[in-house]
Amino acid sequence: MDITLEKKTSTEGFIKITLKEGDYQPQVEEKIKDYSKKANIKGFRPGKVPFSYIKKLYGKSIMVDEINQILSESLTKYIRENKINILGEPLPNQDKSKNIDWDNQKDFDFEYNIGMVEEFDYDLSSKVKVTAYDIDVEDKTITETVENLKLQYGTMTNPDASEEGDALFGTLAQGDFTKDLLIEIADIDKKLFKKFIGLKSGDSATFDLHKAFTDTHALSHMLGVSEDETKALSGDFEFTVKNVNRRVPAELNKDFFDRIFATGDINSEQEFLDKIASTIKDNYAKETKSFLDYTIQNKLVDSTKIDLPDEFLKKWLITSNEGKITEEDIEKEYDAYVKDLKWSLIRNKIIEDQEIKLESEDIIEKTRQIIREQFAHSGLGAQIEDNIDTFVDNYLKGDEGNNYQKVYNQTMVEKLMGVIKEKISISHKKVDLEKFKKLVSN
């Protein structure tokens, strides 16, 4: 057997394998002998089928299977021993394979196209500068959150006449079109807003549907029809009120506090406001941490030069997806794919270079954290803690081991980011919520 690597470029090449008859024939004959001992063929006693008869019937298929097995093992071994950093999987040269004469050939030549990535350097020093944003929780944000919670947990009433903030349940009609639906007065365009104030059960309002609701997607959702069907609706519609719905905000009392925080340890309005503030801060901290990790990832990807075999990767993506995606799909998504691939290469190299490893206790502690967060507002904290390790064990064994792999990956990424953050320069900047939202959306 002869195996050679022929480089087309620094990132693409061909592995060529030449098989002589002596490379595979002994294994083929051994397989035929073994089959003849086990075969149950009419006209022959079990285990007494002649070697020549088995070879005539199954010799070619056995040879093809054995050669494919040798090729797979040899290719894998060659790549590993020569430390070739391949991307994707080797792609066999189909044209060469089609021209093989399995009936008459004794020697065979095979060729595999491979994509490679050369060694690359990344900068993990104080020269890498990123900004971490800390959201300043303003009194306005706390007030808005409390007001929203009071409405969410409030009581539904049916007053005589509608006011701002109410919802109207009724029938929308135009010709043969009729639809019972709920209209939130707050969603109506300001120019037509007053038409819906002061309406009582049995009252009607006539209006142009698209002037009242300028967001086609939201209107489509309200009507329960497709956006194309929504766009086709035109002219004036009549809406007849059946019920006026008004949600009366909940009062700030012990019952309300316990509904929001099931712990039962909130006893005053100030304690409730303090808890709301700390909860908002915790939630924002998760968002800002995720954004910082995303910023670091982009910084390292953008600043690290990695040459990729683009032509090979596009071909491999189409082949490996077995016709489920087209060349047009690849072109559209390729930049995002390359970005993820580069981050994966950088991440794995940092993990190897920095010798980042996980212990079993790391996985267990992370799982404890996940379970505690899941039950954070349930009021079952004490019971959970009493049996936390049982919960951990059951969770990690769940979903056929996939849960363990998910926690492992999550823990490894967190440990990796921790190492990176210790080595680069991170400056902190306080921003309000609106500013942070704008940063994330850009």
Tell me the torsion sign for CA atoms 202, 204, 209, 213. negative
**Is there a single domain that holds both residue 236 and residue 317?**
no
Of 221, 248, 275, the residue at which a domain comes to its end is 248
Residues in the chain: 442
pLDDT of residue 375: 78
* Residue 135, beta-bridge partner list: 431
Mean pLDDT within 217-228: 91
Which CATH number belongs to the domain containing residue 86 in this structure? 3.30.70.1050
The 3-state secondary structure of 304-368 reads CCCCCCHHHHHHHHHHHCCCCCCHHHHHHHHHHHHHHHHHHHHHHHHHHHCCCCCCHHHHHHHHH
CATH number at residue 227: 3.10.50
Using 50, 70 and 90 to split pLDDT, how confident is the model at 380? low
Name residue, tokens 């709920």: 182
Domain shared by 271 and 359, yes or no? yes
Tokens 């909860």 belong to which residue?
279
Q: What is the pLDDT of residues 152-210, one digit of tens each?
A: 999 999 999 999 999 999 999 999 899 999 999 999 999 998 999 999 999 999 999 99
Measure the CA–CA gap between 91 and 374, rounded to whole angstroms: 45
Question: Are residues 209 and 75 part of one domain?
Answer: no
pLDDT of residue 350: 97
Split at pLDDT 50, 70, 90, the class of 382 is low
Residues 287, 429: one domain? yes
Please check the confidence at residue 400 and state whether its pLDDT lies above 90.
no
- Distances 186 to 158, 189, 388 between C-alpha atoms, Å: 17, 8, 46
Residues 178 and 312 in one domain: no
258 in a domain, yes or no?
no
Task: For the chain, give the longest Cα–Cα distance.
Answer: 98
Residue 38 has pLDDT above 80, yes or no: no
Return the DSSP state at 271.
Answer: H
Number of other residues whose CB lies within 10 A of the CB of residue 313: 20
Q: Give the span between the Cα atoms of 202 and 179, in whole angstroms.
A: 16
Domain co-membership, 386 together with 421: yes
What is the average pLDDT value for the chain, to the nearest integer? 91
Which of 215, 248, 281 is the last residue in one of the domains? 248
Are 400 and 288 within one domain?
yes
- Let me know if residue 144 belongs to a domain: no
The proportion of the chain whose per-residue pLDDT surpasses 90, expressed as a percent, equals 71
pLDDT single digits (tens) 285-335: 989 999 999 999 999 999 999 999 999 999 999 998 887 888 899 999 999
One domain for residues 280 and 408? yes
Q: How many domains does the chain have?
A: 3
22 and 96 in a common domain: yes
Q: Which residues pair with 355 in a beta bridge?
A: none
In a domain, 50, yes or no: yes
**Residue 387, in any domain of the structure:** yes
Residue in 181, 297, 302 with CA at minimum distance from that of residue 233: 181
In terms of domains, do 343 and 271 share one? yes
Given this model, what pLDDT does residue 33 score? Answer: 87
Task: Give the domain range for residue 19.
Answer: 2-116
Closest among 159, 157, 236 to 197, alpha carbons compared: 159
Residue 239 contacts residue 204 (beta carbons within 8 Å): yes
Q: Would 183 be classed as within a structural domain?
A: yes
Tell whether 375 is covered by a domain: yes
* Residue 167, SS3 per DSSP: strand
Q: Looking at residue 410, what is its pLDDT?
A: 95
Spatial CA neighbour of 363 closest among 410, 421, 418, 419 = 410
- Predicted local confidence at residue 432, as pLDDT: 86
Q: In this structure, are residues 340 and 313 in contact, taking their beta carbons and an 8 Å threshold? A: no
**Minimum mean pLDDT among 10-19, 138-147, 297-306, 410-419: which range?**
138-147
- pTM summary value: 0.72
Same structural domain, 228 and 281: no
**Does the residue 371 lie in any domain?**
yes
Residues 71 and 180 in one domain: no
Q: Is residue 356, in this structure, part of any structural domain at all?
A: yes
